[in-house]
Chains A and B, each alone.
Chain A
Amino acid sequence: AQSVTQLDSHVSVSEGTPVLLRCNYSSSYSPSLFWYVQHPNKGLQLLLKYTSAATLVKGINGFEAEFKKSETSFHLTKPSAHMSDAAEYFCVSLNQAGTALIFGKGTTLSVSS
């Protein structure tokens, strides 16, 4: 069965330092993977997507993620955190039929000044 595992439930960084949010996937087929961000009392906003083109994917707000098949990982990074990056982040896969999203449990990112 396909699954997505976010390895950290909570990550804390200082403003200006790098961000790393870790995600591993399990899939029997070539996956489509996404990172979404959710700010308090808001919907989910797409940060970036991987759909079997370039393995290094650049997204909005300076985020990027690298698809590593050998490690079954799709970690999200940003060189320098901003206070506004504090939010919940979801690593998400698409099921094989393309009809449903499979969510990780989410990682809460805290950014301190």
Chain B
Amino acid sequence: DAMVIQNPRYQVTQFGKPVTLSCSQTLNHNVMYWYQQKSSQAPKLLFHYYDKDFNNEADTPDNFQSRRPNTSFCFLDIRSPGLGDAAMYLCATKGARPKQPQHFGDGTRLSIL
């Protein structure tokens, strides 16, 4: 059974048109992460939530924002997508205990027209 669920799996949007990607989890984990992964590269962390506390990576563009309305859901908002934002976006979760691994969803592949 899928424990970290990302919707949609594939998303197409137009240049400059806002888009929202969604992630939900059934693990009741405290921490939720968003990564961007471009072709043939490792995932790059954009930001994460520890419960309601938001932690932005220093090099994440302002164009990317996130919301976590409750423990189960987290959203990635891209305000004005550019061609360079086409990528796979991965959501991951982790429990509060130290040294636990992260659990990933299957990702949303975003295309920009």
Contact = CB atoms under 8 A, between A and B. Distances in A.
Interface of A: 32, 34, 36, 41-46, 49, 51, 90, 94, 98-101, 103-106
Given A43-B106, A103-B42, 10 more contacts: A34-B101, A41-B107, A42-B106, A43-B90, A43-B107, A44-B43, A44-B104, A98-B99, A101-B102, A106-B42
B68 interface: no
Q: Is the interface of B mostly helix, strand, loop or mixed?
A: strand
Nearest to A9: B40
Contacts, number: 47
Contacts of A100: 45, 48
A51 B42 contact: no
Interface residues of B, number: 24
B76 interface: no
Nearest to A103: B42
Contacts of A32: 99
Nearest to B2: A43
Contacts of B98: 98
A101 B109 contact: no
Top 9 A-B pairs, shortest CB-CB distance: A103-B42, A43-B104, A44-B104, A51-B99, A43-B106, A32-B99, A98-B98, A46-B101, A43-B107
A51 B101 CA distance: 10
Nearest to A43: B104
